[in-house]
Amino acid sequence: MSTPPVGERTTSTFPVGERTRNERGQAPRRTPWRRDYAARLWFSDLFVLIWAVYGTQLLWFGWGNAQVAIREDSRFNEFSYWAFSAVLVIAWMWALSLIDSRDHRIIGAGPTEYVRVARASFTFFGAIAILAFLLRVDVARGYLLITLPLGIFVLLLERWLWRQWLIAQRSLGRYSARVLLVGSEDSVAAIARELHRSPTAGYKVVGACVPSGRIADTITGTSVPVMGSVDNVERAIAATGADTVAVTSTDDLPTMKVKQISWALEAGRQHLVLAPSIADIAGPRIHTRPVAGLPLIHVETPKFSRGQRIAKRTMDLLISVVGVLLISPLLAFLAISVRLTSEGPVLFRQERIGLKGREFEMLKFRSMVVNAEELLADLREKQDSGNEVLFKMADDPRVTQVGKFMRKYSLDELPQLFNVIAGSMSLVGPRPPLSSEVAQYAEHVHRRFLMKPGITGAWQVGGRSALSWEDSVRLDLAYVENWSLLSDIVIVLKTGKAALAPGETAH
């Protein structure tokens, strides 16, 4: 291998999604991972739509040359369904592009990507129906009625599979925005911790600019390096290869500084993000309203309409009643197992605190010895799990053999379906606390009583016994303040996955 002549430079290659840096100290160049990922989505969308549309055509018409029926007074001549299907695929792809369903701002997290795919598909087929009526073209209804749901299903499945791949890549630090934080040290540290907590969201913090500008230092409590003062943002971007600047606070920034930062960014390749200090607020509660040139962010107080409560209650009743009927043999088997393997009642009844701070009797299959509460005081010093408010032990001696199995797979919680039917609990909601735990609550924690407690919830799928008290509260309050029916469905699905593969945090 020959060596390059003196004065010439070599460049190194990195995996897709990682930045490349030349040796002259120029601004690092980045592989356009956003465009790369959007291209992957485009080709896979095209593939699944061809499969869905032409698969439906073959199912409905076979391999023959079926013709789209044209009424006598129409200006069009009959044409083959093979051509019509091709037009359908092309127009469907166009509809997905028009609604920005592959935009980098919605991929990787949240339901927006899926909602846009479904909305574009329904709108497109509505347009097809209107045009067919106006142009007097008779398209086979069965062909369309199969193509629409099948196409949406395979599109959503394909997007979900790509998202799992993207999440895996982001956990390795790839396919993520390289973020430079700008603001006060406290706000930078808070945002850095939140972004570090969720690497799959696609934000990798590479540096910070703070008022003090302590170069070669790190932000307290984090590993984020300080790249200079807030006046050196452009040089910090060049040094770190950042493609996103997140302003975490404006109190310590000079007047017009945020606008100057936005002017310095390269359009289409570098992005500006304003990160308010308020956390765990999302969805329809946030509204941006421009007033006299100021982008005011309005955060509505959490409220639940009568329609929302009816929808949640309807889902609770339907799933609980059907669930009890389907798993009644399992309930009977567990009840018999508890009765035959240890002394005491089959069900464990305990007073818990529910909606609006009211007490209710929660049901569980008994998984401990009868005098478990009497033994609790002696075991507190040996606690090796849970947190400062919630008592948990990885190998609690009070738990029976059958109880260990039930707890691992959350089977002891199944009688709470009757609590849901009775109306004291919901399928999804905050964790139902003991009155002794409520006595230790800070004032803001009482907001979890705005909703009924749940059999499962964000705390159940977010770490179970491994969660700290702060994280447990944060998840519950975030759920209460940002509730939606879709979030309930997602949590129920994640609960099923967690119950089948419980991991080490289940005990």
pLDDT digits (tens, 9 = 90+) for 110-131: 788 998 999 999 999 999 888 8
Cβ count near 147 (within 10 Å): 27
Task: Decide which of 105, 140, 171 is a domain's last residue.
Answer: 171
Residue 497 has pLDDT above 70, yes or no: yes
Mean of the pLDDT values across residues 140-149? 86
Task: Decide which of 143, 171, 199 is a domain's last residue.
Answer: 171
Within a domain: 463: yes
For residues 472 and 430, which has the higher predicted lDDT (pLDDT)? 430
Instruction: Tell whether 263 and 246 lie within a shared domain.
Output: yes
Mean of the pLDDT values across residues 173-195? 87
Mean of the pLDDT values across residues 447-476? 79
Instruction: Name the nearest CA neighbour of 154 among 54, 66, 83.
Output: 54
Within a domain: 18: no
Give the CATH number, domain containing residue 216: 3.40.50.720
Residue 381 banded pLDDT, cuts 50, 70, 90? low
**What pLDDT is attached to residue 445?**
84
**Residues spanned by the domain of 341:** 306-500
Within a domain: 401: yes
Kind and range of the H or E element at 461?
helix 458-461
Instruction: Tell whether 44 and 161 lie within a shared domain.
Output: yes
Distance CA 350, CA 361 (A): 5
Instruction: Tell whether 344 and 456 lie within a shared domain.
Output: yes
**What pLDDT is attached to residue 292?**
64
**What pLDDT is attached to residue 234?**
86
Instruction: Tell whether 93 and 165 lie within a shared domain.
Output: yes
Distance CA 96, CA 52 (A): 15
Within a domain: 266: yes
Q: Burial level of 367, CB count in 10 A (0-12/13-18/19+)?
A: buried
The average confidence (pLDDT) of the chain is 80
For residues 355 and 501, which has the higher predicted lDDT (pLDDT)? 355
> Do residues 414 and 334 lie in contact, with contact meaning Cβ atoms separated by under 8 Å?
yes
Instruction: Name the nearest CA neighbour of 338 among 346, 330, 348.
Output: 346
Beta bridge partners of 225: 218
> Do residues 348 and 364 lie in contact, with contact meaning Cβ atoms separated by under 8 Å?
yes
Mean of the pLDDT values across residues 33-54? 92
Q: What is the 3-state secondary structure (H, E, C) of 163-199?
A: HHHHHHHHHCCCCCEEEEEECCHHHHHHHHHHHHHCH
Mean of the pLDDT values across residues 168-173? 86
**What pLDDT is attached to residue 8?**
37
Instruction: Tell whether 159 and 184 lie within a shared domain.
Output: no
Task: Decide which of 156, 171, 186 is a domain's last residue.
Answer: 171
User: Euclidean distance between the first and final Cα of the chain, in Å?
Assistant: 59
Range with the largest mean pLDDT of 100-114, 145-159, 293-307: 145-159
Instruction: Name the nearest CA neighbour of 262 among 233, 297, 298, 226.
Output: 233
For residues 36 and 291, which has the higher predicted lDDT (pLDDT)? 36
Cβ count near 82 (within 10 Å): 13
248-252 long-range contacts, CB within 8 A, separation 24+: 248/181, 248/182, 248/183, 248/184, 248/187, 248/188, 248/190, 248/191, 248/275, 248/277, 249/183, 249/184, 249/187, 249/277, 250/183, 251/184, 252/183, 252/184, 252/210, 252/211
Give residues with Cβ within 8 angstroms of 120, minimum separation 6: 95, 96, 98, 99, 101
Distance CA 453, CA 480 (A): 10
Instruction: Tell whether 139 and 188 lie within a shared domain.
Output: no
Side chain identity, residue 125? F
Distance CA 217, CA 338 (A): 59
User: pLDDT, tens digit, for every residue of 83-112?
Assistant: 888 989 999 999 999 999 998 888 887 788
Question: DSSP letter string over 255-310?
Answer: TTHHHHHHHHSPTTTSEEEE--S--S--GGGEEEEEETTEEEEEEPPP---HHHHH
**What pLDDT is attached to residue 391?**
56
User: pLDDT, tens digit, for every residue of 268-290?
Assistant: 678 888 877 666 565 556 666 67
> Do residues 449 and 353 lie in contact, with contact meaning Cβ atoms separated by under 8 Å?
yes
The β-bridge relationship of strands 79-80 and 137-138 is unpaired
Question: DSSP letter string over 367-426?
Answer: -B-TTHHHHHHHHGGG--EE-SSSEE-TT-TTB-HHHHHHHHTTGGGTTHHHHHHHTS-E
Instruction: Tell whether 354 and 396 lie within a shared domain.
Output: yes
Instruction: Tell whether 159 and 221 lie within a shared domain.
Output: no
Instruction: Name the nearest CA neighbour of 248 among 227, 223, 230, 228.
Output: 230
Range with the largest mean pLDDT of 23-37, 164-178, 371-385: 164-178
Mean of the pLDDT values across residues 20-38? 58
Within a domain: 19: no
Residue 6 banded pLDDT, cuts 50, 70, 90? very low
Give residues with Cβ within 8 angstroms of 7, minimum separation 6: none
Residue 455 has pLDDT above 60, yes or no: yes
Task: State the pTM of this model.
Answer: 0.64
Within a domain: 9: no
For residues 425 and 404, which has the higher predicted lDDT (pLDDT)? 425
Mean of the pLDDT values across residues 187-195? 85
Sign of CA dihedral 219, 224, 228, 233: negative
Instruction: Name the nearest CA neighbour of 367 among 428, 410, 424.
Output: 410
Mean of the pLDDT values across residues 366-376? 75
User: pLDDT, tens digit, for every residue of 205-251?
Assistant: 999 888 877 776 788 778 888 888 888 888 888 888 888 888 888 77
Instruction: Tell whether 339 and 457 lie within a shared domain.
Output: yes
Instruction: Tell whether 201 and 257 lie within a shared domain.
Output: yes
**What pLDDT is attached to residue 280?**
59
> Could you give the number of structural domains in the chain?
3
Mean of the pLDDT values across residues 357-386? 74
Distance CA 266, CA 244 (A): 10
Instruction: Tell whether 373 and 485 lie within a shared domain.
Output: yes
Instruction: Tell whether 165 and 197 lie within a shared domain.
Output: no
**What pLDDT is attached to residue 25?**
42
User: pLDDT, tens digit, for every residue of 382-424?
Assistant: 555 544 556 556 667 788 888 888 888 889 999 999 999 999 9
Distance CA 219, CA 213 (A): 11
Within a domain: 140: yes
Within a domain: 17: no
> Do residues 17 and 33 lie in contact, with contact meaning Cβ atoms separated by under 8 Å?
yes
Distance CA 137, CA 156 (A): 30
